[in-house]
Amino acid sequence: MITRRKMLAGMAASGAIIASGLASRSDWGSRSALARRSQPAPLKIPPLLKGRLENGVRVYDLTLTRGVSEFYPGVKTPTLGVNGPYLGPTLDFRNGERVQLNVKNNIGESTTLHWHGLHLPAIADGGPHQVIQRGATWRPSFRVKQQAGLFWYHPHLLHKTGLHAYLGMAGGIRVRDPQTDDLPLPKTYGVDDIPVILQDKRFNRNGGLIYSRNMHDSMNGMKGDVLLVNGGFAPIFTATTTKVRLRLLNGSNARTYNLGFSDNRSFDIIAGDGSLLPRPVKARRVVIAPGERVEIVVAINKSGPADLVTFPYRTVNPGRGSGMMGRMMSMMSDDNRRFEVLRIQPGKTLTPSPELPPKLLDLPRLDPAMAVKTRRFRLDMLMGPMAMMRGGSNFTINGKEMDMRRIDARVKLGTTEIWEISNASPMMHPFHIHDIQFQILTRNGRPPAPHELGLKDTVTVAGGETVRVIAKFEDYADPINPYMFHCHILEHEDGGMMGQFVVVA
Ligand code: C2O
Ligand code: CU
Ligand code: CU
């Protein structure tokens, strides 16, 4: 008799094989940790929650729940979710509409729910100050003021963001906008417009999720050895159209993915975090760091499946930190694991999709001359022996750890600012700013790549790099309630690499 314990141990061992090579076309999924399943699992599509209209306000009911998920057949894994045991529905928002979210906290402990990427009053942001006590219901309401795009929600409780997010309490927010709704892009949810949420996990032998706090995992962030895609392993999506739009969301705590297709086919990148790109950008690879979103359109034909997989990604700049230390860090931290992400297989018939439009969005560049201020943020972390002496890693911005009682920046309402983020550590940090969508001005003095020309709320800053972004801080002032800025590696955020700003009239 094979016990569950043995089975999981076996799966964990076979998981190591993923790292050594890609599956061939015929054995998709067989090398994943779920090798035992008899049928390859179809991609789960989170339900689209359209809300209900009440006096002109679109109302959504969300219940944060503790649940049990079955990732491995017959094995029960305790998880957190929204309106279900794991992950949550995709919220369907329209630009200009007023929304209200009724967030009931049933997880048995305090948490928060943050609307990542949305421009809204600080009190509605769901950051560490908007704690929802156990059993309570929080009812933020605001007008949607966004470009069309994929945003998301996740918990944000101080020192608990990593754990709560890791257990699964997250979901997508699709914003539509009449300005761009008519573009000939794939846009039928679940048919040719597909949310793809990437989260790496580590399971213990009883099927529980491991959230480790050891030195290595706090320094690198919590990374897993298996990849969940919308809550499934190496799932399969059956296409019914000749083009499929993937709305990729990196909902992982710490891992960055360098994505591409196993046959090296090219695809079009059409959107970044907070908007469409000015025009589609052809690529064979795209990097997505924690917190970021990227939308791609891939052509599907009858000749075979399109297999989305990960390629090595260098998290550490080995030039930073003294030679040996740099190489060691690189070995320990780089995101080199090969995952099977998603197989898109052609269905019996493929309905022709329209050609992509040459232009997507008219996005005027913000002029640096408009900026009234340049603020500098220096990201740093103590590592190795230094961190050990201090009893753990130490994560700072401008030399300071996050303090709920300290406001780090006061921005004047209606002004444009340049934020210059430099990374003094060897490890890449995805830097995220609440409230605004920014444009990248320069990366180490050079203009951003074409696929980074859209609106962004999270930007990778590699070891030794300096990235300058520009944004206008509009609409909402509140001298009391701050917005956050932080590294989106959640263990770095929880470890102190976060600060607060207020917007004042
Ligand atoms: Cu996605 Cu402050 O978070
Ligand atoms: Cu955010
Ligand atoms: Cu970081």
Question: Residue 340 pLDDT more than 70?
Answer: yes
The pLDDT value recorded for residue 335 is 79
Residue nearest to atom 1 of ligand 1 (CA): 116
Q: Are 8 and 136 found together in one domain? A: yes
The number of the ligand nearest the C-alpha atom of 393 reads 3
Claim to verify: residue 332 and residue 224 sit in the same structural domain? yes
Count of domains forming the chain: 3
Q: Say yes or no to pLDDT of 22 above 50.
A: no
Percent of the chain with pLDDT over 70: 88
Q: 3-class SS at 501?
A: strand
Best CA proximity match to 314, nearest among 416, 428, 447, 465 = 428
Residue 358 domain-assigned (yes or no): no
Cα 343–349–352 angle (5° rounding)?
A: 90
Q: Do residues 293 and 442 both lie within one domain?
A: no
Q: Which residues, in sequence order, are CB contacts of 103 under 8 Å at separation 6+?
A: 62, 63, 64, 113, 132, 137, 138, 139, 140
- The average pLDDT across 337-346 equals 94
Looking at the structure, do residues 22 and 161 belong to the same domain, yes or no?
A: yes
Q: Is the pLDDT of residue 3 over 60?
A: no
Do both 131 and 261 map to the same domain? Answer: no
- As a whole number, the mean pLDDT across the chain is 91
Q: What is the predicted pLDDT for the residue at 333?
A: 72
CB of 291 sitting under 6 A from ligand 1: yes
Q: Do 60 and 35 share a structural domain?
A: yes
Give the dihedral sign, CA 344/277/424/128: negative
Token pair 């906290």 in the structure block, residue: 105
Asked if the structure places residue 362 within a domain, the reply is no
- What's the 397 CA to ligand 3 centre distance in angstroms? 10
Residues 18 and 337 sit within 8 Å (Cβ to Cβ): yes
Q: What is the distance between the alpha carbons of residues 24 and 305, in angstroms, rounded to a whole number? A: 11
Is the C-beta atom of 432 inside 6 A of ligand 1?
A: yes
Q: Residue 384 has what pLDDT?
A: 64
Partner residues linked to 87 by β-bridges:
81
pTM of this prediction exceeds 0.85: yes
Contact 233, 227 (CB under 8 A): yes
Give the domain-ending residue among 180, 212, 228.
180
Last residue of a domain, one of 297, 326, 351: 351
SS3 sequence of 112-177: CCEEECCCCCHHHCCCCCCCECCCCEECCEEECCCCCEEEEEECCCCCCHHHHHHCCCCEEEEEEC
Q: Whose CA is nearest to atom 3 of ligand 1?
A: 116
- Structural domain includes residue 185: no
Centroid of ligand 1 to alpha carbon of 109 (angstroms): 20
The confidence band for 394, taking pLDDT boundaries of 50, 70 and 90, is confident
158 lies in the same domain as 10: yes
Question: pLDDT tens digit string along 186-226?
Answer: 999 999 999 999 999 999 989 999 999 888 898 899 999 99
Domain range for 461 is 368-504
Ligand 2 mean position to 485 CA, how many Å?
Answer: 8
* Sequence letter at residue 502: V
Q: Residue 487 pLDDT > 60, yes or no?
A: yes
User: What pLDDT, on a 0 to 100 scale, did the predictor assign at position 317?
Assistant: 81
Residues 144 and 13 in one domain: yes
- Checking if the pLDDT of 16 tops 50, the result is no
Cα separation, 127 vs 158, whole angstroms: 8
Share of the chain above pLDDT 90, in %: 82
Q: Does the pLDDT of residue 330 top 80, yes or no?
A: no
Does residue 38 register a pLDDT over 50? no
Task: Output the domain CATH number for residue 290.
Answer: 2.60.40.420
321 & 387 share domain: no
Query: Residue 355 carries which DSSP code?
Result: P
472 Cβ closer than 6 Å to some ligand 1 atom = no
Categorize the per-residue pLDDT at 383 as very low, low, confident or very high, splitting at 50, 70 and 90: confident
> CA 300, CA 306: separation in Å to the nearest integer?
7
